[in-house]
Amino acid sequence: MSPTVLQQADAHHPALSEPKNVQYTYTDPLSEFPALSGVDASFDGSTPIIDMEGLLGPQRSDFIKKIGHACEKNGFFAVKNHGIPEMKINNMLDTARDFFHLPEEERLKFRSSDPDSIIRLVTGFQDKTRNIFVSRQSLKFHCHPVEDFKNQWPSTPPSFREKVGEYCASVRKVEVAILEAISESLGLERDYIDKLLKGHYVSINYYPACQESELDVTHGVRTHTDPTLITILMQDDVPGLQVINDDKWIDVNPIPDAVVVHVGDMLQALSNCRYKSLLHQAVVNCEKERISIASYCYPSDDAAIGPAKKLIDDDHPAIYKDFTYKEFHESMWRVKCSTAKRLDLFKAESD
């Protein structure tokens, strides 16, 4: 039987201050994933960097090729010249930091174990059976369109709604542009994916600096894939993100003025596995707290997420059956399995 990997929302809820924690580690003792004997030190830090300026003008087809190549080969890439003003990024990070520095009782007002709530705070948690502490705290909320949701966001710090709203609206534009390019890179109509797109959900992730404790291993967030079309991750200047590349873990360190884009489960299904959902995790840093802002693009409930018909032929039979995002989302919360196995439940019957 495959091990049950707790998903973030399974967190039983110890008080935030309860666990104080452990070492900086790269290992995930639970995992069925590639042997994690360490991070590939030979990796030269060459996260593919794609310049979004290429989107406009005569280099568009080069840009699309580069995006397609990065999605297929790496499952992730960084984009620069994305158009999100630096000031909005800094405001977002400052606001996130201010929120997580609020007194605990203020933050805990948002705690909820209902995955469908408009906003919820997920705390760090201890998994004592495995001697693991997962230290990430996150505030997760819907944000598209901003006006429909912002009244339910925190009103403390006082600038939260304004600054977060500005960032969310800006990052949404980047998502749409990148999804158009990804559609084209697959040979689909430019708006094929955008037409499926509905929501936009943001997770403000806060990783406290860790200290020694009695638990064996502290994870920032454990190995997982995201249930998204794509995820756009903006990190502050503290490293922590790791991804699997050629069966090895590599660090994806922050690149000034760039955001990281990676493939999620829905794009894997839609592309008939041409683009694979990226396995990733975050480690903690013993000296410094870390903040990242993950923007999750996901389809509307009734969106049909099977492999695009244009990508199916005799040589490329459909790996997944047709299903709706709603079916996927429900099964994701119902069936406990490793995130990397979630899509297996939607595989096409083989003849």
Which is nearer to Ni ion, 135 or 161 (by Cβ)?
135
Q: Is 305 in the site for ligand OGA (CB under 6 A)?
A: no
Q: Is the omega angle on the peptide bond into residue 145 within 30 degrees of 0, that is, cis?
A: yes
75/68 Cα distance (integer angstroms) = 9
Q: Is 294 in the site for ligand OGA (CB under 6 A)?
A: yes
Question: Cβ atoms within 10 A of the Cβ of 107, count?
Answer: 20
Which is nearer to ligand OGA, 127 or 265 (by Cβ)?
265
Q: Is 265 in the site for Ni ion (CB under 5 A)?
A: no
221/224 Cα distance (integer angstroms) = 8
220/136 Cα distance (integer angstroms) = 5
Q: Is 74 in the site for ligand OGA (CB under 6 A)?
A: no
Q: Is 208 in the site for ligand OGA (CB under 6 A)?
A: no
| Number of residues located near Ni ion, criterion CB under 5 A | 1
Query: Closest approach of Cβ 205 to ligand OGA, in Å?
Result: 4
Which is nearer to Ni ion, 179 or 278 (by Cβ)?
278
* Angle 266-180-54 from CA coordinates, rounded to 5°: 130
* Near ligand OGA by CB under 6 A: residue from 203, 225, 271, 338: 203
Query: Closest approach of Cβ 242 to ligand OGA, in Å?
Result: 8
Q: Is 266 in the site for ligand OGA (CB under 6 A)?
A: no
- Whether the CB-CB separation of 305 and 299 falls below 8 Å is answered with yes
Q: Is 206 exposed, middle or buried (0-12, 13-18, 19+ CB in 10 A)?
A: buried
Query: Closest approach of Cβ 321 to ligand OGA, in Å?
Result: 26
Q: Is 188 in the site for ligand OGA (CB under 6 A)?
A: no
- Strands of the 217-219 sheet, one edge to the other: 125-127, 132-134, 217-219
* Near ligand OGA by CB under 6 A: residue from 21, 74, 205, 245: 205
Q: Is 240 in the site for ligand OGA (CB under 6 A)?
A: yes
Backbone angles phi, psi at 217, to 5 degrees: -135, 135
* Near Ni ion by CB under 5 A: residue from 127, 166, 184, 226: 226
Pairing of strands 49-51, 76-80: parallel
34/254 Cα distance (integer angstroms) = 24
Q: Is 123 in the site for ligand OGA (CB under 6 A)?
A: no
Q: Candidates 98-106, 181-189, 233-241, 318-326 — which segment interacts with ligand OGA by CB under 6 A?
A: 233-241
Which is nearer to Ni ion, 164 or 230 (by Cβ)?
230
Q: Is 236 in the site for Ni ion (CB under 5 A)?
A: no
Q: Where are the beta strands (DSSP E) in 255-310?
A: 259-263, 280-282, 290-299
262-282: b (≥16 Cβ within 10 Å) or e:
bbbbbbbbbbbbbbbbbbbbb
* Near ligand OGA by CB under 6 A: residue from 236, 280, 295, 325: 280
Kindly list the residues in this chain that would bind ligand OGA in the complex (CB under 6 A): 203, 205, 221, 226, 233, 240-241, 280, 282, 292, 294
| Binding footprint of Ni ion on the chain (CB under 5 A) | 226
